[in-house]
């Protein structure tokens, strides 16, 4: 399992959490309806490779975008086996400077092949040429944000959740894919799980949707969530799986499984 993933501590790879197996990346891209951010690079690498990793691939604006909107897959271009076969299938050279390809789950290109310049600005322009699925957010309060984070983390279409405080209440802010579950359906699912004391909207249109379902429990606010990082993924953080290099949606699902007393191992990348 761990051989399929690589921690983002290697300078060549920056701060992105990578999948190290293209087949696993394809499977996740299909499941999450996301493009693949495919990096061909040299590890250990030269100064150009390390500069790209420590610069553009560690940029605080680009890293969340890559991880939220895409499935990052890293292929090493200076080793054999599985990596070499993928390298050859894309007709990429070995022992080369970094190359990025953004492809769909059928490996069809969604953007031009990127081989520099290796700056954050150049990489940002590449990302702007793609149209990954957009996500939306909804914030709700419940009796316990640990329990609600776990309960909401089981819902299909929920890709991430963040706990914190809003309006003096413990809340969970959910990021979801509207193509899979829209705001109304998500709110109904959250109410069925007893996770809606209040639901907070930030626009009039969101508030109208919420009021139709939650009535007076629907509130309109401009107050920002005050995150509580020490309370995130409560069950995972206290388990033997806490240090596994999983992507954030998988962490959310594992946390939910642990809260229910289920074996989370089927959720791990194969």
Tokens 């004391």 -> residue: 197
- DSSP E strand boundaries for 30-98: 36-41, 71-76
State which CATH number among 3.40.30.10, 3.40.120.10, 3.20.20.70, 1.50.10.100 fits the domain covering 2-128.
Answer: 3.40.30.10
Model confidence pLDDT, tens digit, residues 74-97: 999 999 999 999 999 999 999 999
Model confidence at 6, in pLDDT bands (50, 70, 90)? low
Residue 2 has a pLDDT of: 36
Beta bridge partners of 191: none
Model confidence pLDDT, tens digit, residues 47-84: 999 999 999 999 988 998 898 889 999 999 999 999 99
Model confidence pLDDT, tens digit, residues 111-156: 999 999 999 999 998 988 875 557 899 999 999 999 999 999 999 9
**pLDDT, average across residues 27-43:** 92
Taking the CA atoms of the chain, what radius of gyration do you get in angstroms?
20
Residue 91 has a pLDDT of: 94
Asked whether this chain's domains 2-128 and 134-270 adopt the same fold, the reply is: no
Question: What's the rounded Cα separation, in Å, for the pair 104 and 107?
Answer: 5
Residue 97 has a pLDDT of: 96
Question: What's the rounded Cα separation, in Å, for the pair 67 and 246?
Answer: 11
Domain positions in the chain are: 2-128, 134-270
Residue 192 has a pLDDT of: 96
Model confidence pLDDT, tens digit, residues 149-184: 999 999 999 999 999 999 999 999 999 999 899 999
Fold classification of 134-270 is 3.30.1060
Model confidence at 33, in pLDDT bands (50, 70, 90)? confident
Model confidence at 264, in pLDDT bands (50, 70, 90)? very high
Give this prediction's pTM. Answer: 0.55
Model confidence pLDDT, tens digit, residues 182-235: 999 999 999 999 999 999 999 999 999 999 999 999 999 988 899 999 999 999
Sign of CA dihedral 226, 229, 235, 236: positive
Q: How far apart are the first and last CA of the chain?
A: 6
């Amino acid at each position: 399992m761990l051989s399929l993933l690589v921690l983002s501590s290697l300078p060549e790879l920056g701060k992105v959490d990578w999948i190290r197996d293209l087949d696993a990346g394809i499977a996740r891209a299909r499941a999450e309806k996301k493009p693949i951010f495919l990096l061909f690079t040299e590890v250990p690498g030269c100064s150009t490779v390390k500069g790209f990793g420590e610069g553009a691939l560690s940029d605080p604006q680009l890293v969340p975008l890559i991880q939220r909107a895409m499935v990052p897959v890293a292929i090493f271009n200076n080793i054999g086996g599985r990596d070499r076969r993928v390298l050859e299938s894309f007709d990429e050279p070995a022992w080369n400077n970094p190359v990025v390809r953004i492809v769909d789950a059928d490996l069809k290109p969604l953007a031009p092949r990127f081989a520099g310049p290796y700056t954050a600005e150049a990489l940002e322009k590449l990302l702007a040429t793609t149209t990954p699925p957009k996500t939306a957010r909804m914030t709700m309060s419940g009796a316990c944000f640990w329990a609600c984070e776990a309960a909401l983390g089981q819902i299909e279409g929920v890709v991430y959740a963040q706990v914190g405080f809003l309006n003096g209440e413990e809340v969970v802010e959910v990021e979801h894919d509207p193509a899979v579950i829209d705001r109304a359906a998500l709110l109904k699912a959250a109410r069925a799980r007893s996770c809606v004391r209040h639901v907070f909207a930030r626009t009039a249109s969101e508030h109208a949707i919420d009021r139709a379902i939650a009535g007076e429990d629907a509130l309109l606010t401009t107050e920002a969530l005050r995150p509580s990082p020490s309370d995130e993924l409560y069950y995972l953080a206290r388990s033997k799986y806490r240090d596994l290099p999983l992507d954030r949606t998988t962490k959310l699902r594992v946390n939910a499984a642990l809260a229910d007393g289920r074996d989370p191992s089927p959720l791990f990348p194969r």
